[in-house]
Chains A and B, each alone.
Chain A
Amino acid sequence: MEGILFVLLSVLALGGGLWVLLRRSPVDSALGLLTTMVAIAGHYMLLDAPFLAAVQLIVYGGAVIILFLFVIMLLNLRQDRLRARRLAAGRWVYALAGVAVLFCLAGIFLAGGTSGAVDAGPSGTVEAFGEALFRRWVYPFELTSVLLLAALVGAVALTRHAAPKAEDKA
């Protein structure tokens, strides 16, 4: 049962990833990314981390990809215009990337020693995770709030300052 689910979710995740890479339309790419994110949330459920699965859906499904889609619609990017050039100039890069992936693969499997099962840890329920988060990792947790605030201010400042400039030029 778990094996079947694992294979299914992995196929979904990798298929979504390929979709991100190969589609011309950025919206299609974003939907491929969504597939991958949902599949990974499923993997988190399999790994007995329900809290993380829910957060994955909320953060990625509900916010990040929606944000991508919003920007795509804002800029009205219907088609990637650069397909024709991409293949010609990108061929050697393809090869490089393939080598990089193989290198990683080989490195991991030559190193070996990772034959562990994945059912040893405590279950990542909301209670257990909250307990860990607010006892052991309470400082990092508080720091993330600063990080998010900085990102918020940064994003607003970036796009706000640009608006009058663009008008000045025009």
Chain B
Amino acid sequence: MPTLNHYLLLAILLFGLGVTGVLIRRNALVILMCVELMLNAANLALVAFGRSGGSLEGQAFAFFSMTVAAAEVAVGLAIVVLIFRHSGSTDLESIRLVGGGAREEQ
């Protein structure tokens, strides 16, 4: 019988994976995916907390966070497409907006 601690542990590990992904990957798409991973970890924790607290609040929070995540992905992907059109790559390292547009890949 899993307890709240188990769910929290799982959520922490998933969140950690998400953080690590955002830090080590350079493909904008994969970074967005890792952000989704973190959001989901948070949702899982919310639902587990709600369950142990005896109300539907956790689930409602998770529901709203899902809608926010969906909106975020729509806009995020639109930006990625824009970046790709601008610099021909989804690699965040190759984009230097401040330095004047796209930089050639070394």
Q: Which of B4, B32, B43, B48 contacts A115 (CB 8 A)?
A: B4
- The answer to whether A144 touches B29, judged by C-beta atoms less than 8 angstroms apart, is no
**Within B4-51, which residues are at the interface with A (CB < 8 Å)?**
4-10, 12-21, 23-27, 29-30, 32-34, 36-37, 40, 43-44, 47-48, 50-51
Q: A97-B19, A114-B4 are in contact. Are A148 and B70 (CB under 8 A)?
A: yes
Q: Which of A2, A94, A119, A132 contacts B20 (CB 8 A)?
A: A94
- The answer to whether A101 touches B12, judged by C-beta atoms less than 8 angstroms apart, is yes
Q: Within 8 Å CB of B55, what residues of A? A: 121-122
Main secondary structure of the interface of B (DSSP, over half): helix
Residue of A nearest to B5 (CB): A114
Q: Please, how many angstroms separate the alpha-carbon atoms of A118 and B26 in the complex?
A: 38
- The answer to whether B30 touches A82, judged by C-beta atoms less than 8 angstroms apart, is no
- The answer to whether B2 touches A20, judged by C-beta atoms less than 8 angstroms apart, is no
B97 beta carbon closer than 8 Å to chain A: no
Q: How far is the CB of B63 from chain A (nearest CB, A)?
A: 6
**Within A8-29, which residues are at the interface with B (CB < 8 Å)?**
10, 13-14, 17-18, 20-21, 26, 29
Q: Within 8 Å CB of B73, what residues of A? A: 64, 67-68
- The answer to whether B40 touches A67, judged by C-beta atoms less than 8 angstroms apart, is no
Q: Which of B14, B34, B79 contacts A14 (CB 8 A)?
A: B14
Q: A55-B66, A159-B81 are in contact. Are A26 and B30 (CB under 8 A)?
A: yes
Q: A33-B37, A40-B43, A159-B78 are in contact. Are A80 and B56 (CB under 8 A)?
A: no
Q: Within 8 Å CB of A156, what residues of B? A: 78
- The answer to whether B33 touches A20, judged by C-beta atoms less than 8 angstroms apart, is yes
- The answer to whether B17 touches A104, judged by C-beta atoms less than 8 angstroms apart, is no
Q: Within 8 Å CB of A86, what residues of B? A: 24-26
Q: Please, how many angstroms separate the alpha-carbon atoms of A108 and B56 in the complex?
A: 23
Q: A48-B51, A52-B63 are in contact. Are A82 and B43 (CB under 8 A)?
A: no
Q: Please, how many angstroms separate the alpha-carbon atoms of A144 and B14 in the complex?
A: 26
- The answer to whether B52 touches A118, judged by C-beta atoms less than 8 angstroms apart, is yes
Which of A98, A120, A129, A152 neighbours the largest number of chain B CB atoms within 10 Å of its CB? A120
Q: Within 8 Å CB of B10, what residues of A? A: 10, 13-14, 43
Q: Please, how many angstroms separate the alpha-carbon atoms of A33 and B21 in the complex?
A: 12
Identify 5 new A-B residue pairs, CB closer than 8 A, beyond the known A21-B24, A59-B69, A90-B23: A43-B10, A47-B47, A60-B36, A68-B33, A117-B3
- The 10 A-B residue pairs with the shortest CB-CB distance, nearest first, are A101-B16, A151-B71, A116-B52, A97-B20, A17-B17, A155-B78, A158-B78, A6-B2, A121-B51, A120-B54
